[in-house]
Amino acid sequence: MSQLFSSRNLKLLTNPLNLENPITVQVLGICSALAVTVKMKPAFVMALSVIVVTAFSNLIISALRKSIPARIRIIVQLVVVAALVIMVDQLLKAFVYDVSKQLSVFVGLIITNCILMGRLEAFAMANKPWDSFVDGIGNGMGYGAILIVVSFLRELLGSGTVWDYPVMEKLGAFSAGYVNNGAMIMPPMAMILIGVIIWIQRSRNKNLIESK
């Protein structure tokens, strides 16, 4: 049992949060990170969906890894991922309809989220099921962390709310002359925010800096 939560597995969970972050270091999963981060709630649901799909697809592919014929490897991976995403999409439509409308096509795009295929090829095909499951959760959380940070900033500065709670209004900021930053709601701002996050991350971790 102690093996389940070995220090190696702990690293699998924590590395993607910083040094091996899928978005800022591995440069994967960017597409959805930008579009769904206008507000925190859809970003959170998206992050949760990615964690679930990555973890379970890692688990399933790892369990099947010895039996998958080499020639149809990619297709099998895609089929498993697509099936899981469809499940998640159907569940969202059934139980959190409003959020699923906000996420619209981006739930389907989890299939092509490079993080999933990346982890399947780089980890699940060569490791045991439980380790792969943990790796999936770790990378999903690394992705989720960036999503939460960006959506928090965009929602607070762009709409004046946090998780739909009107923070700026309650603080009386509007009557003091504060105006919402319209640019924050626009997708390009998400790119710039991630650029700044990368700047901060690499200033603190010199070994991530790219050589000339």
Partner 1 sequence: MNKSNTYIFIYSTVLVVVVAALLALAATVLKPFQQKNLETAKKLEILHAVDKGWDAGSADNKNLYVDAQYNQYITRAFVFDPAGDTLPGRLAFEIDVSLEMKKDSTDRVYPVFLCTRDDGALNYIFPVQGKGLWGPIWGYVALGEDLNTITGAFFDHQGETPGLGAEINTRWFQKQFVNKKLFDEAGSFISVKVLKNNEPKLPDHSVDAISGGTITSKGVESTIAVSMKNYLPFIKKNKQ
Partner 2 sequence: MENHINLFVDTVFVHNMIFAYFLGMCSFLAVSKTVKTAVGLGAAVVFVMVITIPVNYLLEKYLLKEGSLTWLSPGLADVDLSFLSFIIFIAVIAAIVQLVEMVVERFSPSLYNALGIFLPLIAVNCAVLGGALFMQQREFANVWETVTFSFGSGIGWAIAIISLAAIREKIRYSNVPAPLRGLGITFILVGLMAFAFMGFMGFKL
Tell me if 88 sits within 8 A of 107, measured CB to CB.
Answer: yes
Q: Does 79 bind partner 1 (CB under 8 A)?
A: yes
Q: What residue 71 binds from partner 1, partner 2, none (CB within 5 to 8 A, per partner kind)? A: partner 1
Q: Say which residue the tokens 């739909």 belong to.
A: 164
Q: Among 45-53, 60-68, 135-143, 198-206, which window interacts with partner 1 (CB under 8 A)?
A: 60-68
Q: How far apart are CA 93 and CA 52, in angstroms?
A: 16
Q: How far is the CB of 99 from partner 2 (least distance, A)?
A: 17
When asked if residue 108 is in the footprint of partner 2 (CB under 8 A), the reply is yes
CA distance 139 to 133: 10
Judged by CB under 8 A, the residue of 11, 65, 73, 202 near partner 2 is 202
Report how far residue 212's alpha carbon sits from residue 205's, in angstroms, rounded to the nearest whole number. Answer: 17
Query: What x/- string results for residues 88 through 127 when contact with partner 1 is judged by CB under 8 A?
Result: --xx-xxx-x------x-----------------------
DSSP H/E element including 100: helix 97-103
Whole-angstrom Cα distance, residue 13 to residue 160? 33
Residues of the shown chain interacting with partner 1 in the complex, contacts defined by CB under 8 A: 38, 66-72, 75-76, 79-80, 83, 86-87, 90-91, 93-95, 97, 104, 158-159, 180, 182, 185-186
